[in-house]
Amino acid sequence: MPGQKSAVLFAWILLIPALLYVAAIVAYPLVDTFHLSFTDASLRKTTNWVGWKNYQKIFDTEFAEIIGRTFVWTFLSVSLKMIIGTGGAVLLNAALPGRAVFRILTMPPWIVPMAIGIFMWGWMYNGQFGMISGLLQRFGLSDGPVAFLAYGSTAFWATIITDVWIGVPMVTMYMLAAIQSVPVDLHEAAWTDGASRFYRLRRITLPMIFPAAITMSMISLISTFNSFDIIWILTQGGPSGSTTTMIIDTYSTAIGSKKFGEGAARAVVICLFLSAFAILYFQAVTKLSRRMTT
Amino acid sequence: MTKTLLRTGAALAALVVAAPAMAEEITMIVCGDTMDPIHDKYIAEWEAQNDGWTVAPEVVGWGQCQDKVTTLAVAGTPVGLAYVGSRTLKEFAEFGLIEPIPMTEEEKASYYPNVVGTVTYQGEQWGVPVAFSTKAFYWNKDLFEEAGLDPETPPATWEEVIAAAKAVTENTDSAGFGLVAKTFDNTMHQFLHWVYTNNGQVVDDEGNIVLDSPEVLAALEAYKALVPYSEEGPTAYEQNEVRAIFLDGGVSMMHASIGAVSRLADTDINWGVANLPLGPEAKGPGTLLITDSLAVFSGTGVEEQAISLAKFLTAPAAQEEYDLNAGLTPLRPSPTIDALVEEQPYWAPYIEGIEFGGPEPLFTDYRAFQNIMIEMVQSVVTGDAEPADALAKADAALKELE
């Protein structure tokens, strides 16, 4: 069918600018990073092909430990964001007086420029001048200053708490929108049948917002996995590497030590993990949409 | 219409013909927030003396400066002249990104001792020192008095520092010593003060790694001995944060740069400044010598003029004016500097420490070197490792690195 052929051709011609754009800003950097990961690229003007050496090297070092730490950090942060964000959304959806004010009050962590918010937390964690240490001492919960960023375990949790603080508003707003999309008549019918508020939450609201929660979790997972600014500004991965995640290690290797080849190999590993998350996400979404339509 | 076309054509032709005669430009990256007026003045003078040449300085914030210079060089579009930390010179030199800037014997002799060493690699100079930093010892006289110590006599040895820190911690509400151990570059710098005040080295004159030595071990042990008498959680603080605690009266002693003087002037603290206390193997007052340099990048086609500009900006008179204006440790001795020390005696320890001071060791992968040193210090401060073990581990890691 010559008419159909020319229509397809016309469609491709229309797509060319967008394809070129995607090729230039997505495909080319990806392919180049993949290529770079098999070289010894550094500040040296020449680069050599080194095969799998960069990959062998990263798994010979403490990178396996860093991968584990990244997963724990991400899991804790995303879980807390989802629990607090969903809980906040449920409360904000309740018919409470001044609800609009509370909704506005959830926004500052999102509105404040991220770096400023992180520096603010850095000061709050400061043992000598920080608010948290001061309050602990004032209420007799600590004998002296507590420097939260000085020790591996406290620094690890401090970075998670800051990440949660920044991430919760987005989850809250998204989940609030999901809750508001639940048909009111379902709640009214359940209420007429004598269902308690908690029962309605458990049996109507939560199942209805589950697809949105899956989507939000995945979006949050990907951004948290690659969360750089918070850890870098607060601890630079320290003390003693206790807050070094994959993205921090990749930055330190590629930009700090100028080992572009090794850094690219780390970036490819991150990319593979994120691709796996994306596949899981799309599978979950497909399954859910099938369930919803049948 | 034809006339207009002819005129435009003639104008374009004139431009093409005139192009070779137009001024050639040296691009320059300066790290900081603003262009120093002294440099502005001398750049204008250099331009006046070099007809047909202009300088295009660009000020880049400290956070991005080093990365921008490096990225431009790697991308094949290097800047003509750039302000860089001298610690990066070896890396740039080894990868052929910068030009050597040879110094005459007379030029070398004009600097304080060991300064030229901060820009020398394999016998050649790869940058011209443009900014210099040394450190001295500060103590809070009121806290010393409260702790029962002589407020007018600063500790002169490590042993005395540890004893004074203990006395202050036990007899006042403040901590004894401001210890720096954060994951931050100046943790390594602060530790090197201890190394260079005990005749220690990281790399010897032949380029061998000699970190695992009794001198450095003693420094690490002294660092550990101060932990119980320092602010809570030293791994959370870098040197400027420790300085803030000192300014708040929270610690009684610290190592700091000359910038502390102006900040102390705004407080009620009764303070003193002296040479860094010495370790048992010291041969004389020491300090870490940190310089920033002007480096000339290869492949710009203006290397020769960039070297001329670098030398012009750092010539003795211009450099002295810049040092005094910016409040930096002077790079060269002179009658003006002698008068300065006489008038403002707090400068003396900053200059006396130079003689036995040591440079930031030059490593090709400087960041990895820094991380190894920080990891060593942190593992000792947190009690995760004994000094001897941490030192042996760091020494092995540095040998592998090189």
pLDDT tens readout for residues B328-344: 999 999 999 999 999 99
- List chain A residues with CB under 8 Å of B91: 43, 258
Query: How many percent of chain A have pLDDT more than 70?
Result: 98
pLDDT on residue A151: 92
Q: How far apart are the first and last CA of chain A?
A: 37
pLDDT in tens, A68-78: 999 999 999 99
Judged by a CB distance cut-off of 8 A, whether residue B244 touches chain A is yes
pLDDT tops 90 at residue B170: yes
* Cβ partners under 8 Å of residue A96, min gap 6: A102
Q: Averaged over A92-113, what is the pLDDT?
A: 83
Q: Residue A104: pLDDT band by 50, 70, 90 thresholds?
A: confident
Dist. CA A240–CA A185, nearest whole Å: 56
Judged by a CB distance cut-off of 8 A, whether residue B400 touches chain A is no
pLDDT tops 70 at residue A293: no
Q: Chain B: nearest CA to A84, how far in angstroms?
A: 29
* Cβ partners under 8 Å of residue B85, min gap 6: B66, B290, B292, B293, B360
pLDDT tops 90 at residue B166: yes
Identify the closest residue of chain B to A127 by CA–CA distance.
B232
pLDDT on residue A2: 62
Q: Residue B5: pLDDT band by 50, 70, 90 thresholds?
A: very low
pLDDT in tens, B128-148: 999 999 999 999 999 999 999
Q: Chain B: nearest CA to A126, how far in angstroms?
A: 8
Quote the tokens at residue A156: 């690890």
- List chain B residues with CB under 8 Å of A238: 182-183, 235, 374, 378
- Which of A166-170, A252-256, B224-228 has the weakest average pLDDT? A252-256
- Which of A87-101, A133-147, A173-187, A252-266 has the weakest average pLDDT? A87-101
pLDDT tops 60 at residue B238: yes
Identify which of A147, A240, A255 has the shortest CB distance to residue B232: A147
pLDDT tops 50 at residue B365: yes
User: Of A211, A176, A205, nearest to A190 (Cα)?
Assistant: A205
pLDDT on residue B75: 84
A42 contacts B73? CB cut-off 8 A: no
Q: Residue B9: pLDDT band by 50, 70, 90 thresholds?
A: low
Q: Averaged over A200-211, what is the pLDDT?
A: 86
Dist. CA B128–CA B99, nearest whole Å: 11
Q: Chain B: nearest CA to A114, how far in angstroms?
A: 17
- List chain B residues with CB under 8 Å of A44: 95-96
**Beta-bridge partner residues of B55:** B26
- List chain A residues with CB under 8 Å of B401: none
Q: Residue A292: pLDDT band by 50, 70, 90 thresholds?
A: low
Highest mean pLDDT among B57-66, B91-100, B209-218: B209-218
Identify which of A43, A145, A238 has the shortest CB distance to residue B235: A238
Identify which of B74, B95, B183 has the shortest CB distance to residue A239: B183
pLDDT tops 90 at residue B28: yes
- List chain B residues with CB under 8 Å of A252: 367, 371
Q: Which of A46, A62, A128, A249 would best serve as a mutation to test chain B binding (most B beta carbons within 10 A)?
A: A128
pLDDT tops 80 at residue B221: yes
Q: How far apart are the first and last CA of chain B?
A: 70
A70 in Cβ contact with A76 (< 8 Å): no
User: How do B358-359 and B81-85 pair as beta strands?
Assistant: unpaired
pLDDT on residue B389: 96
Judged by a CB distance cut-off of 8 A, whether residue B379 touches chain A is yes
User: What topology is assigned to B136-286+363-401 in CATH?
Assistant: D-Maltodextrin-Binding Protein; domain 2 (3.40.190)
User: Of B212, B263, B259, nearest to B399 (Cα)?
Assistant: B212
Judged by a CB distance cut-off of 8 A, whether residue A238 touches chain B is yes
pLDDT in tens, B91-111: 899 888 999 999 999 999 999
Dist. CA A62–CA B19, nearest whole Å: 57
Would you say the ipTM is above 0.90? Answer: no
Q: Residue B15: pLDDT band by 50, 70, 90 thresholds?
A: very low
pLDDT on residue A187: 84
CA of residue B285 relative to chain centroid, distance: 18
Quote the tokens at residue B188: 């390594």
3-state SS, residue B157: strand
Query: How many percent of chain B have pLDDT more than 70?
Result: 94
pLDDT on residue B1: 44
- Which of A34-38, B128-132, B397-401 has the weakest average pLDDT? B397-401
pLDDT tops 80 at residue B14: no
- Which of B30-44, B152-166, B211-225 has the weakest average pLDDT? B30-44
Judged by a CB distance cut-off of 8 A, whether residue B365 touches chain A is yes
A235 contacts B183? CB cut-off 8 A: yes
In chain A, list all ranges with CATH 1.10.3720.10. Answer: 52-293
Judged by a CB distance cut-off of 8 A, whether residue A61 touches chain B is no
What is the CATH superfamily name and number for domain B24-133+289-358?
Periplasmic binding protein-like II (3.40.190.10)
Domain positions in chain B: 24-133+289-358, 136-286+363-401
Identify which of B182, B232, B368 has the shortest CB distance to residue A145: B232
pLDDT on residue B226: 97
Q: Averaged over A130-147, what is the pLDDT?
A: 91
Q: Averaged over A189-213, what is the pLDDT?
A: 87
pLDDT tops 50 at residue B48: yes
DSSP-assigned letters across all residues of B78-104? --SEEEEEGGGHHHHHHTT-B------
* Domain A52-293 part of CATH 3.30.230.70: no
Q: Averaged over A107-135, what is the pLDDT?
A: 92
pLDDT on residue A201: 84
pLDDT in tens, B253-306: 999 999 999 999 999 999 999 999 999 999 999 999 999 999 999 999 999 999
| C-alpha pair distances (Å), A198 with each of A89, B44, B123, B397 | 15, 76, 78, 59
